[in-house]
Amino acid sequence: MKKIALAIHGGCGVMPEDSMTASDWEAARNDLAAALGAGYAVLQSGGRAVDAVEAAVVVMENSPHFNAGHGAALNENGVHELDASIMDGATLGAGAVSAALAIRNPIKAARRLMDDGRAVLLTGAAADRFAEANGLATEPQSYFTTQKRVEALEAMKAHAAAGTDGTENEKHGTVGAVALDAAGHLAAATSTGGYTNKPEGRVGDSPIIGAGTYARDGVCAVSGTGKGEFFIRHVVGHEIASRIAYLRQDLKTAAGAVVNHDLAVHEIGAGLVAIDAEGEIAAPYNTPGMFRGWVISDGKAFVATHETIYEVMV
């Protein structure tokens, strides 16, 4: 059997372990396992990497535990503005939406736009209209709101008034997936609500191809999480691919250097998942934790939030 592999993240900057109950942490890990299961089922049946990453991200968009879709962050006006993108390493095809207000699963709209082929990125109301015209589910803003995000917005406004800094978990989060299929193709997908208390209309790295999302067959696929402005400035996904293609660095060296040096010098929280053409996986982060998981060809799957790694069934 040819190698297949999948890795996901649910955002870096995880809260201290004593900040949630054991059952809450378990629920989040269960949703990570469900996302792995959805993506791996596609790969195991001989499906495409691009279908696998979409399937995995949809599960996390539907979960209240992550900052994407249901449970997304609120901007300075208490509004959800949603970003997502997907990229097929086989063709370099890509699709993205930004500042969408109503798309239940933004990653589905990004995928539909990629397949449509007329544009790579649609924003705001145009993205919502595109999704609706293509039969994708839309929701009122209230669907995306959770009490956790309301409290996070209140906390960030208080920090702003006091001139203090919030925790990474209060500020932002993202979900993403990368995959290698049996045909040797790579793909990446990323979705987010952006950072809490962000300016209206702000667009981060998640829908920017080459920054928060990138995939190129024979090289690697990358999905990032962290302060998006710096991921854009460093063109993180493409930078990691370039280190591999031109400097001949291995995946873990390239990804680790970007997260722990290029981004860390800015004193920002950052993390990512990446996979190379051989199915090797990297998941570096420079925060106290990162929601993450991975599954390899033999079906062994693992999830983690902090240092402890849990084996799960998918």
Q: How far apart are CA 104 and CA 62, in angstroms?
A: 8
Judged by DSSP in three states, 94 sits in: strand
| Separation of alpha carbons 122 and 111, rounded Å | 12
What residues contact 36, with CB distance under 8 A and at least 6 apart?
6, 8, 56, 293, 294, 295, 301, 303, 312, 314
Of 145, 167, 174, 287, the active-site residue reads 174
Instruction: Reply yes or no on whether 174 is catalytic.
Output: yes
Residues 6+ apart with CB under 8 A from 311: 300, 301, 302
Pick from 44, 36, 33: nearest CA to 3: 44
Work out the number of other CB atoms within 10 angstroms of the CB of residue 309.
Answer: 13
Q: Which residues of 279-307 are buried (b: 16+ CB within 10 A; e: fewer)?
A: bbbbbbbbbbbbbbbbbbbeeebbbbbee
Instruction: Name the residues annotated as catalytic.
Output: 174
